[in-house]
Structure 1
Amino acid sequence: MQNFSIPFGKGKVNFELPEEQVAGVLVSHAHEYKAPKSEAELVADALANPIGSPKLSELAKGKKTCTIISSDHTRPVPSHVIMPQLLAELRKGNPDIDITILVATGMHRPTTHEELVGKYGEEIANNEKIVIHVSRNDEDMVSIGTLPSGGECLLNKLAVNTDLLVAEGFIEPHFFAGMSGGRKSVLPGVASKITVLANHCSEFIDSPYARTGILEGNPIHRDMLYAAKVANLAFICNVVIDADKKVIAAFAGDREKAHEEGVAFEMKLAGVKPAPADIVITTNGGYPLDQNIYQSVKGMTAAEATCKDGGVIIDVSNCNDGHGGEDFFNTLKEATDLQKAMDQILARTRNETIFDQWESQILLRLLLHFDIIMVTSAPKQMVEDMHLKYANNIEEAIEMAKKLVAAKGVTDPKITVIPDGVSVIVK
Structure 2
Amino acid sequence: MTRFDLRYGMGTVQIAFDGDRFEILGAGAQWQPMSDIEIGRRFDHPIDSPPIEDIVSPGETVLLVVPDATRQTATGQIVNLLVRRLIANGTAPNEIAAIFATGIHRPVSANEISEILTPFIAQRIRSIQHDAHNPVKLFSFGQTANGIPVDLNWALTEFDHVVLVGGVTFHYFAGFTGGRKLICPGLASKRTITATHQLAFDRASLNRRNGVGPGLLTDNAVHEAFVEAASKVNVSFAVNTIVTDSGSAADVYCGDWITSHTAACERYAAERTIAVDRKRELVIVSCGGTPHDINMIQAHKALEAAAAVCADGGTILLIADCRDGLGRDDFLSWFDAGDVNEIAKKLCENYAVNGQTAWSLRSKTDRFDVRMLTSLDAVAVKKMGMTKIDDLESEMRRTSGHGLGYVLPFGAKYLYQAE
TM-score above 0.5, yes or no: yes
Q: Determine if contact 1:166/1:234 at 8 Å carries over to the other structure.
A: yes
| Distance in structure 1 (CA, Å) of the matches to 2:65 and 2:185 | 12
**Are residues 1:42 and 2:32 paired?**
no
Residue of structure 1 equivalent to 2:273: 271
Q: Could you tell me how far apart the structure 1 residues matched to 2:223 and 2:59 are?
A: 30
**1:416 match:** 406
Matched with 1:215 is: 217
Residue 264 of structure 1 deviates from its aligned partner by 1.5
Deviation, 1:353, is: 2.3
**How many Å separate the matches in 1 of 2:352 and 2:294?**
22
User: Secondary structure of 1:42's match?
Assistant: helix
Q: Aligned residue for 1:289?
A: 292
Distance 1:246 1:368, change over 3 A: same
Q: Distance in 1 between matches of 2:210 and 2:6?
A: 30
Is this contact kept in 1: 2:149–2:192, CA < 8 A? yes
Q: Equivalent residue for 2:56?
A: 60
Q: Report 1:15-414 matches (<5 A).
A: 15-22=15-22, 24-27=23-26, 31-34=29-32, 37-38=34-35, 40-61=36-57, 64-96=60-92, 98-201=95-198, 203=201, 206-274=208-276, 275-332=278-335, 334-345=336-347, 347-348=348-349, 352-399=350-397, 411-414=401-404
**CA distance 1:174–1:305, change in 2 (3 Å):** same
SS of residue in 2 equivalent to 1:360: helix
- Tell me if structure 2 keeps the 8 A contact 1:327–1:355: no
3-state SS of paired residue (1:118): helix
The superposition leaves residues 49-86 of structure 1 with CA deviations (integer Å, 9 ceiling, x where unpaired) of 11111111111116632211011111112222011111
- C-alpha spacing 1:54/1:157, structure 2 compared with 1 (3 Å): same
Q: CA deviation at 1:293?
A: 0.9
Separation of aligned partners in 1, 2:124 and 2:39: 22
- Post-superposition Cα deviations, 1:172-204, rounded to whole Å, max 9, x if no partner, equal 111111111111111111111111000111526
Equivalent residues of 1:113, 1:125 under 8 A apart: no
- What is the CA deviation profile of residues 211-245 of structure 1, one whole-angstrom value per residue up to 9, with x for unaligned ones? 11111111110011112211122211111012111
User: How far apart in 1 are the matches of 2:384 and 2:399?
Assistant: 18
Runs of 4+ off more than 6 Å: none
How much has 1:381 moved relative to structure 2?
2.1
Shift of residue 165 of structure 1?
0.7
8 Å CA contact 1:342–1:364 kept in 2: the answer is no
Cα distance change on mapping 1:380 and 1:298 into 2, 3 Å:
same
Relative distance call for 1:372 and 1:91 in structure 2 (3 A) is same
Instruction: Check the 8 A contact 2:58/2:91 in 1, yes or no.
Output: no
CA contact (8 A) 2:279 2:311 kept: yes
**Counterpart residue identity of residue 335, structure 1:** A
Any unmatched runs of 5+ in structure 1?
403-410
Distance 1:63 1:261 in 2: 32
Contact 1:60/1:94, CA 8 A, preserved across alignment: no
Report the Cα distance in structure 2 between the residues aligned to 1:135 and 1:89, rounded to whole angstroms.
31
Q: Distance in 2 between matches of 1:396 and 1:191?
A: 45
Letter matched to residue 318 of structure 1:
D
Counterparts of 2:38 and 2:361 in 1: how far apart (Å)?
37
Q: TM-score, normalised by structure 1?
A: 0.91
Sort the Cα spacing of 1:278 and 1:49 in 2 relative to 1 into closer, same or farther, 3 A.
Answer: same
Q: Give the Cα separation in 1 of the matches to 2:232 and 2:287.
A: 33
Root mean square deviation, CA, Å: 1.9
